[in-house]
Amino acid sequence: MMRRRGFLQQITVGGGVLAAGMLPYGLARLLAPPVKADPHTHLRPPGALEGDAAFVDACIGCGLCAEVCPPRCIRFYGREGGDRVNTPYIDPEVKACILCNKCMEVCPTEALTERPRDEIDMGIAQIDRAACYPWVDRGICGACVSICPLGDRAISFEMWNQYRPIVKQACVGCGLCVEVCPEPSLPIRVVERSQGTVVQHSI
């Protein structure tokens, strides 16, 4: 009888201690409600590990990448990020990456690994030819082509129309074209490489 009571007491105390140990994580979880982040327009900084799970594994949330970023384009997921909380992202519509490599140099973990500028893969720019001004003959522009840090290897004009932009495979997805695009609906955006460089409209 006594042994059973002692066992029950031990179980209760153990459970209580475990609950108290869980308290900080419970609090952190409670204070960070799982709201889905919108990864649609969010890019990881250049040199990020492939696959978002691998990146979240490696990132310790120190914020160094943002601190050294000259255009200050790197922002952080807050409570809306769920498990991605405190990990960095770039929203090229607000401020785009200039491919200066500083964040890769400063990252203490392998989350952002140093690589040459041409081998960065943040995605690829995709153009909606039904909205872009020159493509719908609503004027001349060329903002995206003139800002591109990789030059005409990544984006250039169409052969027969001097102002219709065409994205090429050398594009690394830095998003500067998205930042400068004057059309309010942003016909140019950065997407995953597999999705291609032209928006496919279904009829």
Partner 1 sequence: MTEPIKRPFLFRRHLNKLRWLSLGLVFAMLVVLPFLSVYQTYVAAHAYDLLPPSDKKLYDIMETLSSPFVDDPATDLDAIKGTTWSGTFFGYKISDPLAVVGQTAAGLTVYWPFVLSALVPVLLTLALGRFFCGWICPATFLYELNTNLAAWLRKAGFRLGHLHFDRRLKYLVLALGVVLSAVTGSVLVAAIYPPAIIGREIYYAVALGGFGAGAVFFVMTLLFDLLVAQRGFCRYLCPGGALYSLLGRYRPLRIRRVVEDCNDCVKCNAVCEFGLDPMRDDFGQECNNCSACIAVCPTDALVFTIHIKDLPDQGAGHLGRHYRKVHEAEALRQETG
* Contacts to partner 1 by CB under 8 A: 17-18, 20-25, 27-28, 31-32, 53-54, 56-64, 66-72, 75-76, 78-79, 83-87, 102, 106, 108-110
Residues 6 or more apart whose Cβ sits within 8 Å of residue 117: 99, 101, 149, 150, 172
Q: How far apart are CA 197 and CA 125, in angstroms?
A: 6
Nearest distance from C-beta of residue 183 to partner 1, angstroms: 23
Evaluated on CA atoms 38, 40, 43, 49, the torsion sign reads positive
**Cβ nearer to partner 1, comparing 102 with 193:** 102
**Cβ nearer to partner 1, comparing 16 with 139:** 16
Nearest distance from C-beta of residue 154 to partner 1, angstroms: 22
**Cβ nearer to partner 1, comparing 83 with 137:** 83
Q: How far apart are CA 142 and CA 75, in angstroms?
A: 28
**Cβ nearer to partner 1, comparing 71 with 196:** 71
Nearest distance from C-beta of residue 79 to partner 1, angstroms: 4
Q: How far apart are CA 121 and CA 162, in angstroms?
A: 28
